[in-house]
Amino acid sequence: MTQGPAKSSGKRERVLDAARTLFLANGLRGTSMEAIARQAGVAKPTLYAHFPDKDAVFLAIIEALLSEKLAVFEAAMASDRPVAQRVGAALAAEFEVVNRTLAGSPHRDELFAAHKRAAALMQQSDDVVLARLRDAFKAAGVTAPDRLASLVLGAAYGLVLRGGVGAHLGEDIELLARRLIEPELAER
């Protein structure tokens, strides 16, 4: 009897959910493939049928996180609000996805910078965000759109890295964006 795609996809999602829980609780180094299989309620051969190793599981989780992060960023950028508000809301939304995912994990720093391929995926995501910010600033008439895009994204990222987890992260990012962007718009 062959496994249908829905059943296979359900097992894959269970594995990813279990791995996410374990990575947040125990860190990447403290989580084994055996523990993931046990937590997911699947046999180890089933786990290995979906993922060749723990790094592949971790990367699948990162890819899903980045996809969600970019989707909320793009949705906020598509609004018709003024550019400073739009950018602030977009950055707040994308970093809230990360914040919500990592909230409460004692392994937050390890997971944030754990893997070279994950870092490359995150850089690709940041490149998309930078390009969108640059385009928005250019369309708004900002004199140095590349510089402002880099500054705004870097500053928002800095808030997150400084442990900006909490109820006010989104508000803080929006305030930061307005404070950095509005003076640039006033100069034109």
Task: Please check whether residue 137 is in contact with residue 177, taking contact to mean a CB–CB distance below 8 angstroms.
Answer: no
What pLDDT score does 22 carry? Answer: 96
pLDDT at 112 over 90: no
* pLDDT of amino acid 163: 65
What is the DSSP secondary-structure string of 113-126? T--HHHHHHHHHHH
Do 44 and 67 have their domain in common? no
Do residues 14 and 74 share a domain?
Answer: no
Q: How far apart are CA 158 and CA 94, in angstroms?
A: 14
Q: Say whether both 32 and 87 belong to one domain.
A: no
Considering its fold, how many domains does the chain have in total? 2
Mean model confidence pLDDT for the chain: 89
In 10 A of CB 79, how many CB atoms? 11
| pLDDT digits 0-9 by tens, 42-93 | 999 999 999 999 999 999 999 999 999 999 999 999 999 999 999 999 999 9
Domain termination residue (choose one: 33, 52, 71): 52
Q: Please check whether residues 118 and 33 belong to one and the same domain.
A: no
Could you say which of 19, 36, 52 is where a domain stops? Answer: 52
Q: Which residue, among 65, 62, 66, 86, has the nearest Cα to 75 in the 3D structure? A: 86
Q: How many Å apart are CA 19 and CA 25, to the nearest integer?
A: 10
Domain extent at residue 141: 59-186
Q: CATH number, domain at 21?
A: 1.10.10.60
Q: Both 63 and 144 in a single domain?
A: yes
pLDDT tier for residue 114 given thresholds of 50, 70 and 90: low
Q: What pLDDT sits at residue 24?
A: 93
Same structural domain for residues 34 and 110?
A: no
User: Minimum mean pLDDT among 38-47, 104-113, 145-154: which range?
Assistant: 104-113
Q: What is the pTM of this model?
A: 0.85
Q: Which amino acid is at 134?
A: R
Report how far residue 188's alpha carbon sits from residue 179's, in angstroms, rounded to the nearest whole number: 16
Predicted confidence band of residue 110 (pLDDT cuts 50, 70, 90) = confident
What is residue 104's three-state secondary structure? coil
Give the amino acid at 145. Answer: P
